[in-house]
Structure 1
């Protein structure tokens, strides 16, 4: 990509189109649901080439925190942060599945919407070849967080 602007789809709280997706880690310990507006077929799913995204195989969508419902496995979730320690990457401590990351936008007070980066690879029955996957060059670019960047 030629710029560092956000390449995914932001939630549309005013949309009448919404769909809820059930998701689970590999071992089944961490279960959650995510409501996406617009639904997944209309989302731009982000594939970033930064070190953490590429190693964990993240394919990311960005729901509002309120659209994420953790059903089980909170105690099993582990956190990993690196660099500026801004993002809290959450993974299952039992099977190691990379579930989501929390950029802590509200906590850090930069005025951006309270989003999570959720890995669609955990969604049940998702067909990756039917998604609109967009590339983000997080390896070579510093994102512009003030413009709701990729957050890595």
Structure 2
């Protein structure tokens, strides 16, 4: 997240925020995400790194407290690779890639963000999103992803 080329992360403004309902494919994991500005004004990141491209992530980066899991938290499973920093969270029943946790505070960084997959938002209109591309394949290489080439 510290790269100056990475899309600018907006400042949270409660007067310009919207809460979105989201869920995994099977509906076990249900949660809300509050974004400021609202999704239509967010720059949604499409990364081409190995995990993002395979999971189809389209990401926004709210603060941790702006995501509230309503049900199914006990069904969330984690996967990490490379330097084992990011915990990719997915539903243990249907396999939906819900979000990833870069554990910023644990690594002495701030703000405490999550990478939320907007494909899980109810009624999301992908063709209405402002998608920006991030070259994570070349800028965020992992030591154990050579088998994916």
Would you say same fold, with TM above 0.5?
yes
RCO greater where, 1 or 2, for CA within 8 Å and sep 6 or more?
1
Greater shift, 121-130 or 12-21, is seen at 12-21
Cross-structure match for 1:6: 6
Q: Does 1:33 align with 2:32?
A: yes
CA contact (8 A) 2:12 2:35 kept: no
| CA apart distance, 1:10 | 2.0
Instruction: Output the aligned Cα RMSD.
Output: 1.5
5+ residue gaps, structure 2, are 142-149
Higher helix share: 2
Cross-structure match for 2:66: 67
CA contact (8 A) 1:11 1:64 kept: no
Kindly report which structure 2 residues correspond to 1:18-57, keeping only aligned pairs within 5 A, or say none.
Answer: 18-57=17-56
CA contact (8 A) 2:29 2:70 kept: yes
Q: Number of matched residues? A: 139
Provide the TM-score with structure 1 as the length reference.
0.87
Cross-structure match for 1:132: 130
5+ residue gaps, structure 1, are 144-152
**Secondary structure of residue in 1 paired with 2:19:** strand
Cross-structure match for 2:144: none
| Residue among 118, 121, 146 paired with 1:120 | 118
Whole-angstrom CA distance in 2 between matches of 1:4 and 1:57: 24
Whole-angstrom CA distance in 2 between matches of 1:142 and 1:25: 27
Provide the TM-score with structure 2 as the length reference.
0.89
Cross-structure match for 1:77: 76
Cross-structure match for 1:106: 105
